[in-house]
Chains A and B, each alone.
Chain A
C-alpha cells in the first residue's frame, strides 16, 4: 500500500444528489479524492456506486450539488464538457471498444481527433500503451476477435492515451471470466503504483487490499463508511457493512 497523498483534492463531490424518477440514487454525497489517491467504491447492487462513478464525468447528470475536477466545476454540456471529459479516463464494465475500428484505431481515435496529435505520434504512443497492457500482438485485429480480458486491457490503454488526470473504473472485471480477471487487475495495480488517481467500483477485495488507499462503502445512495482497506475488511464499523461483508466473504 502506498502512503496517503495530500494536497488539494483532484476530484471533489459536495452535496451531490440524483434521482431516477422517484428513486433517490445519490443522497448528499460528499467525497474528496486527492491527487494520486486510489479509492475503491464498494456496495450492494443498487447502492448507487456505478451512478456515482458515472456522475464524475457527467455520463449521469446530477440534479443537486457540485462536482469539480482539478478545481474546475463540471460544465453542463457542450465543448467545455467534452474538453473536461478528455482529462477523465473511463473504463466500462462492458468494455465498449469501438466495434468497427481496429485495436490500434481504438486507442488513437481520441488523441488524433480530440488532442489533434499527428497520426504517427499517436500510433507510436498507442503501440507503447498496448505493449504496456500486454496486447501488442493484436493491434490490427477488431475488438470482437479478442478475449474479454484483452478487450478490457485495450479499453484501459484507450483511456490512458488521452493522458487523463484521473481514471474511473465502473466494475471493470464484472463481465470477465474468472481466469481473465487477474490480467486486468494486474494492469490496474501497475497504474496505481505509478501514481494514477483512480476511482474503482469493484468487489475485488484483493485489488482493494493491494492498491487502494481508501474504501468507500455505499448503500441505498449514501456513503455509509469510509476507511482504509485493511480496517474496512477486518473491522467494519457499520452494521450494514458487516452484513454485506459477511455475505461476500463466506464464499
Chain B
C-alpha cells in the first residue's frame, strides 16, 4: 500500500474528514485535518506523491475559502508550495491572500517580501512589489520591519544613494512603534558625511540653501563649515523627532498599548469588549487625522479580529460614504461584511440603501432573490422582525418602477401583490411569530391619505374575514383599526366617529378581547367624548 492510500484509508482520516464535512464552519476540524495530512507527508519535498500534494492543496484552498481571514494559513500554504519548488504557486497563494485583505495585511506582506528577496532576481519586479506594499501598509504602526527590509534591499541592490535617503526621510515622518531606530540611522548618516557636497543626501540643494543657508558648493575652509552644517541638519532632525515622538506616544498610550488581539480567531471566540471600544475610538482618531490610506489600513486591521462583528463593517462603510463620498466602495465593503459578519441586519439594510443610491436595482433584486432562496421561498418565516420589515420596505420600493403616486387606481398603487402576499402570510402565522402587532403598527405608520382604503380592505378586513383570533382578541388590534379610521381623510369627522363606534367597536365586542387598555388610550388621545360609549359597549 502506498503512502497516499495509507493515509486516506486510515480510520483517523475518515473520522477527521467526516467532521470537516459535517461542520465546515468549525476551524478546529480543518486544522486537525491539515495537521494530520502534513505530519503524514513528511518530509515535504519534490518527491511528494502527486495525489497527496493535490489533496493538501485543495484542503488549504477549501479551508481558506471558509476562513478567508486566517492569515497564517496563506503563509503555511505558500511555504508548502515553496518547499515543493512551486514558486509560481507560492506567488499565487500570497496574491490570493493579499487580495482578500485588499492588500492591507502587514503580516502577509512581510512574509511574502522575505521570500521574494530570495527568489525574485529582477530588481524592477522586486521593487514593484515593495512599492505596492508601501502604498498599502507603509503607514502601519508596526511597519518598522517592512521598512527595514525595504531599506536593506535598496542598499543591497541599488547603486545610487538617493532612493535610500528618500525612503528613510519618508519613514522619519511616519509614527511608527520603532521610529527611533530610523532616526538613529539618519543621524549616523549625517555623522558619516565627509564633505559638504554629500549633504544633498538629506534634502535638495535649493531647500538646504533656502531654509538652512547651507551651500553644498561651499569652497571655503570646509572643516568648521561642515561641523556647522551638521549641527543645522541635526537640529531639524530633532524637531522632526519631537513631532513624531509626540504622535507615537499619543497613539501608543491611547490605543496601541491596549490592543492585544491582532489576529483572526474564528466566529466562536468572544473578544474582550474593551478592545471593540478601543478600536472604535482609535478609528475615530484615525479618521480625524485625515490620512486616508491609514484610515483604510486601520479599518482593515480592526476587521481582522472583529470580522464577525457588524460594527466595524458599518463604520467602514459609513466613513466611505460620508467622508470619502465613495458609495461604490462602501457597497463592496458591505457585501464582504454581509458574508463575514455574524449579525447581518444592519449591514444588509445599509447595503440596500447604498444600492438604491447607486441606482443598482438589479443587484438589489438579486440579493432579495438569494434572501428568499435562503428561506426556501418562505421569507415570511424569518424570525427577526427587522429583517422581514427591511425586506418588505425595500421590496416595495424596488417594485415601484411601475407605480406612480398619481396613479388612478389607488387600491393597487401602494403595495405590489407579492409584497402584500408576504405580509398576509406572515400575519397568518399569528402567535407563532413575535412582534406581529409591531408589524401591524408599522404598516399603520405608512398610512397616507391615498392608501388608507388599501390598508383597511386588504389587511385589517382580511384579518377579520380570516378570523385570526390572535389579533381579534387583542385590544391593540382594535385600537390600531380605530386609529386607521380616525386618520382616514376621506371620511368626515362624524363618519369616522360613527364608523369607529358602531362598526369597529361593535364588531370587536364579538370577540373575547383581553385588554381594553389600548382602546382606552386611543380614546384618551383622539376621542375622549366616546370613552363612555366604549365602556358601555365592552362593559358586559
Partners in one complex: no
Interfacial residues, chain B to chain A (CB-CB below 8 A): none
